[in-house]
Amino acid sequence: MVRNGFVVAMAAEISFALYDRPVALLRKVKQWIIVSRCGPNLEFMTVANAAGKVTPNVDAPIGLTPIKTAVGILMSETERESTFLLVRQLPIELPVAGAFFPADGYLRIFETQGTVGLRCEGRHAHSLGRFDSYWVHKDVPNPAPNARGTMAWHVDGLRRSWAGEFMS
């Protein structure tokens, strides 16, 4: 399944850390994420956070909507696992739902215990700005200016049943 196109919901635990010390975890939250493998050659993976409370052993709610979407490009692949490099610039040929979220890091999708799991680690590669009176996330150099407002993060997700799911 990890080598096919899909859209799935996952219950995720997201750990936030200091931008300059990604190993220094500050807090954890449980949140829904929407994960999609897409592109003409299935070379992209998108991960979007979605609003909603994660309850143990409960299906994903029907109305999940992407809020911020990170994009990865395929780096390596085996039968049971695919690894993607998170990107700072949205590929021109790839529209995303929600706001594009520039990031540095990686995303690994894998088969586990009869389902699909995700491990993603990275950090913000943007700062907030305004363009045409709308808030936007813009790419910035490393280290980010005003790094106090940026974070590193670790995401562990596990697929849950969802009415919005798609498998190719």
Calculate what percentage of the chain has a pLDDT beyond 90. 62
Q: Does 90 map to a domain?
A: yes
CATH code: domain of residue 134? 2.40.160
In terms of residue numbers, what domain contains 155? 6-167
Question: What pLDDT, on a 0 to 100 scale, did the predictor assign at position 53?
Answer: 84
- Model confidence, pTM: 0.87
Cα Rg of the chain, angstroms: 15
Q: What is the pLDDT of residues 90-129, one digit of tens each?
A: 898 899 999 888 899 999 999 988 899 999 999 887 655 5
Q: What is the pLDDT of residues 83-99, one digit of tens each?
A: 999 998 889 889 999 98
Q: Does 1 map to a domain?
A: no
Number of domains in the chain: 1
Alpha-carbon torsion 43, 33, 20, 82, what sign?
A: negative
Q: Does 11 map to a domain?
A: yes
* The residue to which tokens 């790839």 are assigned: 94
Q: Which residues pair with 7 in a beta bridge?
A: 36, 166
Q: Does 98 map to a domain?
A: yes
Q: Does 56 map to a domain?
A: yes
Lowest pLDDT segment from 21-25, 44-48, 136-140: 136-140
Token pair listed for 46: 């998108």
